[in-house]
Structure formats: structure tokens, C-alpha cells
Amino acid sequence: MENVVLIVHLILALGLIAVVLMQRSEGGGLGMGGGGGGAMTGRAAATALSKVTWVLAIAFIITSITLTIIAAQNSAGTSVIDQLGITPPAQNAPSNDLVPPGGDLLPPSAGDNAPLVPSAD
């Protein structure tokens, strides 16, 4: 279902691009003037193209919302962390942010009997 909506969405996007590019420029936009002549001139052609543009734009927005809803339903209850395979910390463990997981405040020194903190001799 998602693939069908995605293909329709892509076709609508290409159609919308084509219809917008076929429309006559009104001029004044970015300094580009609208040239006269061409195959589609007159008020009727502009009205027909603008109606087709509106229909394609509305259909494009509807397929965008549909794709968003489908993606939200497919990912309900999952997280990016779940996909990485990382296990979250236990919820029942006491939260002691100042002490690292091993319980040692300082890394072990070179000797087992050596003091962890240098003496003030």
C-alpha cells in the first residue's frame, strides 16, 4: 500500500513540475520577463493550466499526508535505539549520576596497594 501511494506521489510531483513550467510567466519574478506568443496563449489556456495545477497540488498534499500517516503507523512503538540493538539502562537501578557504573571515582593506579589519590608529602 505504501509503495503504491509513493509511486502516485512521485507521478504527481513530476506532473506538478511539468504543469508549472508550462504556465506563462507573469513577469517581475526574479527579473525574468514573460515572453509573448507560444503554443498556449490566451486566457482560457491560463485558466485551464491553473485549474490543473490546483488539482495536482491538492492531490500532492493528500498523498503527502497519507504517506505520513502510513509511516507513523508502521513505526508505532519502535525507536531508532531499538534498531541499533543497544539495550537501555535498567529502570530499577538507583540513579547515582556522580558515581560511574563501576563504583570507582578514580581509575585504578599502577600498583594495587598504591593510594588512588596522591599524598601531600
More confident residue, 80 or 115: 80
Distance CA 117, CA 109 (A): 9
The domain limits of the chain are: 1-23+43-74
* 99: pLDDT strictly greater than 80: no
Taking residues 15-34, report their average pLDDT.
74
Q: How far is 57 from 51, CA to CA, in rounded Å?
A: 10
Rounded to two decimals, the pTM is 0.53
H or E, element range at 10: helix 2-22
- The per-residue pLDDT for 39 is 53
- Measure Cα distances from 19 to 51, 57, 58, 99, 106 in Å: 10, 10, 14, 64, 68
CA 58, chain centre distance (Å): 21
Mean pLDDT (the chain) is 75
Query: Could you tell me the three cell numbers for 79?
Result: 525507536
Kindly give, in sequence order, each residue whose CB lies less than 8 Å from that of residue 27, ignoring residues fewer than 6 positions away. 33, 34
pLDDT for the residue numbered 25: 74
Q: What is the mean pLDDT of the segment spanning 28-43? A: 54
